[in-house]
Chain A
């Protein structure tokens, strides 16, 4: 039998190509998802109560400590960071869709809110922030007298 010795990278490991492909594949998943970086995050929904406004956002996998909420005048800001993945160095990735990294977003509200009267809850990965209007800011009902 004629032996041929073919080691394109100067090595005799038959799996060198496979490992190189695996490393390149992992590198693709290492970068931040391009969509996440350029779009606004997190997406929020707004609801209105009789005298309050509620903002909700989905932030799965975070805890209260990972989220920072600040309020000023008519602006509400939310900052946070997803904890880094603990996959390990020997992990081989197949799919990486979940959000990663830091995020920061400020939203302008349609009216002033009372910073002392805000109820923020975080349950099962959903943040719900209920904000009340300050008493003197609420529209006043004007009595119309019959003359």
Chain B
């Protein structure tokens, strides 16, 4: 089972939050490792700065969406001196090439890394269709 990118996000887009807190954050693609072991596809995504509560994984049919919201790396009141990397929220969307057995999905999040194990669903039994003569 392969995981294909649904849309390639070239760099970042500005996303505005809703509600009273107008959160304008950059959104980045998290870096991923994807490999298959037998019938299971494993996706590991780096989302540093995100806590386990702020990670979101949704699977609708074969479309897998990974997203995470960060907490600021440095508290308010500090002045920025130099910047080699940008902080931002994460989002990446994949299309899986096969049905996933949703009841057997394993997901965990530690040290800013999301790990998903997606086992392929058992093949549906072929249905015998009777052909009537005449």
On whether the beta carbons of A91 and B36 are closer than 8 Å, the reply is: yes
A43 to B85, CA, bound (A): 6
A43 contacts across to B, CB distance below 8 A = 84-85
B36 contacts across to A, CB distance below 8 A = 91-92, 94
* B78: contacting residue among A47, A87, A88, CB under 8 A: A47
Taking each of B2, B73, B82, which has the highest tally of chain A beta carbons within 10 Å of its own beta carbon? B73
On whether the beta carbons of B32 and A98 are closer than 8 Å, the reply is: yes
Residue A54 at the B interface, CB < 8 A? yes
- Would you list 18 pairs from A and B whose C-beta atoms are within 8 A, ordered by A residue? A45-B83, A46-B82, A49-B77, A49-B79, A58-B85, A60-B113, A87-B37, A88-B37, A92-B35, A92-B37, A93-B35, A96-B34, A97-B33, A98-B32, A124-B49, A125-B48, A125-B49, A125-B111
| Nearest A residue to B87, CB-CB | A45
Partner-binding segment picked from B9-17, B39-47, B57-65, B118-126: B39-47
Which A73-108 residues sit within 8 Å CB-CB of chain B?
85, 87-88, 90-99
Tell me the B residues contacting A by CB distance below 8 Å. Answer: 2-3, 31-38, 42, 44, 46-51, 71, 73-74, 77-85, 87, 111-113
Chain A interface, number of residues (Cβ within 8 angstroms):
34
A125 to B113, CA, bound (A): 8
**Given known contacts A44-B85, A58-B48, what 14 new A-B pairs fall within 8 Å (CB)?**
A43-B85, A45-B74, A45-B83, A45-B84, A46-B83, A49-B78, A53-B81, A58-B85, A91-B42, A94-B35, A98-B46, A125-B46, A125-B48, A126-B73
Residue A62 at the B interface, CB < 8 A? yes
For residue A79, give the distance in angstroms from its CB to the closest CB of chain B.
18
For residue A125, give the distance in angstroms from its CB to the closest CB of chain B.
2
On whether the beta carbons of B74 and A128 are closer than 8 Å, the reply is: yes
| Nearest A residue to B44, CB-CB | A98
Which A107-141 residues sit within 8 Å CB-CB of chain B?
124-126, 128
B80 contacts across to A, CB distance below 8 A = 45-47
On whether the beta carbons of A61 and B46 are closer than 8 Å, the reply is: yes
For residue A119, give the distance in angstroms from its CB to the closest CB of chain B.
12
On whether the beta carbons of B73 and A45 are closer than 8 Å, the reply is: yes
On whether the beta carbons of A60 and B35 are closer than 8 Å, the reply is: no
B78 contacts across to A, CB distance below 8 A = 47-49, 54
B38 contacts across to A, CB distance below 8 A = 90
On whether the beta carbons of A96 and B51 are closer than 8 Å, the reply is: no
A93 to B37, CA, bound (A): 9
